[in-house]
A and B are shown apart, each in its own frame.
Chain A
């Protein structure tokens, strides 16, 4: 019976042009929706599978404002049974702050899953810092994670092939997209999710901050695209180009 905690982060779902807020501290998300990282979607899927497979339970956690309850509810509708909101403005929290706050909640859980890196700040370190805060082993960048006989086994795509890890519980694992197919919420799942009371906790202490001075947009590369043609008639110009570039052999 494994008690799993899975940590997610609400991030703007930007696809086209990115705009920044006036104070250059964040992405202007007024005209886009919100989502979680693809890595975290896979972490939620793995958490639910581990909970189901071991007869345990999965709890979803985020550090964020009240708005992030939307992302917690999605995870609840997918099979998590508890949700914890560490209520704080995430933009003022650096990765070490977030790790410290998660650690205060995570101790009771056998396995903590996180995404490999957040889709917005891309810090690549919260899971590892959490492991040190808890004094637990950490497997980083796992595609698959299984729990049996008091141990976690995980697979990571390494430079020489698929790397196998086996660590005793309790443990921390950060997840990369690609090893599992996240499920879609069912109607009964959504109904259940609505009834769960989200547990709200306050941070242990004020954050040291992310060290951010400001955000800026990369200089726009002035670009004039050369259209080689329309439809299959363009094939000749394409192959001329590939020959000129020395790749058509």
Chain B
């Protein structure tokens, strides 16, 4: 059996979870899924479309709040004698998978982009922020792996009718010590969701020049109904908050259009934006890696180019 740990939000299985399911379904059958916590309406049917035969739903006080150890205990319970356990390459997916691997004393491969068949199982995964790939062998059973976000196309497969199995996992007291005791909601302006789910992202880097140099890029993002993202130089200098950072140690984005302005395109930044569908780079240096890797580019000073674009958009809207 192949077991996929699936994260959900109000709309169902999250995007990276669906990508992970797509990869899991290709690894063999039967495919099962485990959901811990909220089970949104329609998610059992949705998972069936990816070939999931059984959805294990963990319920009970022990898993009501998130805790890496308790949630991993639930996944371990559902895994039975699974040959492979797959999780999404999100912070929680990574955390639960690492707990599971530690509990079972088996290796874990993070950020997998492709998996072979064969024994021992051989996977390809992203290392060095995605700029290098590693072929790795996972000889132990179950093989535990997480699937890198936006590296596999989300594709439902041969649909089946999934059945739901609800269970209350046995969780030891020691596994309940580190768990979320309270959550402070933050308004949209204080979180990275807007950035990771935006169709259009306008980026700004050192070229912005100072904390006061973001007005035009912020305006462009607003005009396009998108979000602002920045480079690490910008957050390190305290010009913008860290939740806006794109890259290896920031958010991974995959918008339809990414417009990086005054960003050189260092590999750690590229790690976070490589899966953008179209990149339009605005940079004064035509040799900057961001320019040479982009689909389109404008060569020039962002402080002149971006206001001109904003003016043109406003002019056409009348």
Q: Give the B-binding residues of A (Cβ under 8 A).
A: 14-16, 18, 20, 27, 37-39, 94-96, 99, 117, 119-125, 128-129, 131-132, 135, 137-141, 156-168, 171, 176-179, 181, 210-218, 221, 223, 225-236, 238-239, 241-242, 245-249
The interface residues of chain B lying within 8 Å CB-to-CB of A164 are 180-184
B200 lies within 8 A of chain A by Cβ: yes
Count of residues in B whose CB is under 8 Å from the partner chain: 94
Given A27-B128, A213-B122: A178 and B242 within 8 A (CB)?
yes
A96–B92 Cα distance when bound, in Å, is 20
CA distance A164 to B184 in the complex (A): 8
Interface pair B107/A18, CB less than 8 Å apart: no
- Residue-by-residue, is B106-138 near A (CB-CB < 8 Å gives 1, otherwise 0)? 011111000000000010001111111111111
A123-B108, A125-B110, A215-B132 provided; 14 other pairs, C-beta below 8 A? A125-B94, A128-B98, A163-B182, A211-B138, A212-B136, A213-B135, A214-B134, A225-B294, A230-B298, A230-B299, A231-B305, A232-B308, A241-B280, A245-B256
Smallest Cβ-Cβ distance to B133: which chain A residue: A216
Residue in A15, A141, A236, A246 whose beta carbon sits within 8 Å of that of B91 in the complex: A141
- A162/B131 contact (C-beta < 8 A), A167-B177, A239-B313 known: no
Point out the residues of chain A lying under 8 angstroms from B312, CB to CB: 235-236, 238-239
Pick the contact of B68: A128, A176, A230, A248 (CB < 8 A): A128
Q: Given contacts A213-B135, A215-B132, A215-B134, are A228 and B95 in contact (CB under 8 A)? A: no
Cβ B68 vs Cβ A215 within 8 A: no
A149 to chain B, nearest CB (A): 15
The smallest beta-carbon distance between A4 and chain B, in angstroms, is 18
Q: Chain A nearest CB: distance from B134 CB in Å?
A: 5
A119 near B128 (CB under 8 angstroms)? yes
Complex-state Cα separation, A227 to B137, whole angstroms: 43
Complex CA distance for A225 and B7, rounded to whole angstroms: 37
Question: What's the minimum C-beta distance from B199 to chain A, rounded to whole angstroms?
Answer: 7
Closest-CB distance, B112 to chain A (whole angstroms)? 11
Q: In whole angstroms, what is the CA distance A89 to B107 when docked?
A: 20
Q: Does B268 count as interface, using CB distance less than 8 angstroms?
A: yes
Distance between Cα atoms of A135 and B200 in the complex (Å): 45
Q: Is the CB of B300 within 8 A of A232?
A: yes
Query: Quick check: A162 and B184 within 8 Å, CB to CB?
Result: yes
Q: How far is the CB of B130 from chain A (nearest CB, A)?
A: 8
Tell me the minimal C-beta distance from B92 to chain A in angstroms: 7
Interface string of B272-314 (1 = CB under 8 A from A): 0000001011000010010111111111110011011101110
Q: List 11 A-B contacts (CB under 8 A).
A: A14-B267, A27-B132, A125-B101, A141-B95, A158-B66, A231-B300, A234-B308, A241-B296, A245-B257, A246-B256, A247-B257
B132 and A20 within 8 A (CB) = yes
Closest to A143 in B: B242
> Judging by beta carbons under 8 Å apart, are A162 and B186 in contact?
yes
Q: Give A23 Cβ to nearest chain B Cβ, in Å.
A: 13
**Main secondary structure on A side of the interface with B:** mixed
B42 contacts chain A at the CB level, 8 A cutoff: no
CB-CB under 8 A for A232 and B304, given A163-B183, A164-B181: yes
Residues of A within 8 A of B97 (CB): 124-125
Q: Contact check, A124 vs B110: say whether CB atoms are below 8 A apart.
A: yes
CA distance A144 to B279 in the complex (A): 34
| B9 contacts partner chain A, Cβ-Cβ < 8 Å | yes
Contacts of A168 in B (CB 8 A): 177
Closest to B293 in A: A223
CB pair B297 A228 closer than 8 Å:
yes
Is B210 interfacial (CB 8 A cutoff)?
no
User: Which residues of the other chain, A, contact B199 by a CB distance below 8 angstroms?
Assistant: 247
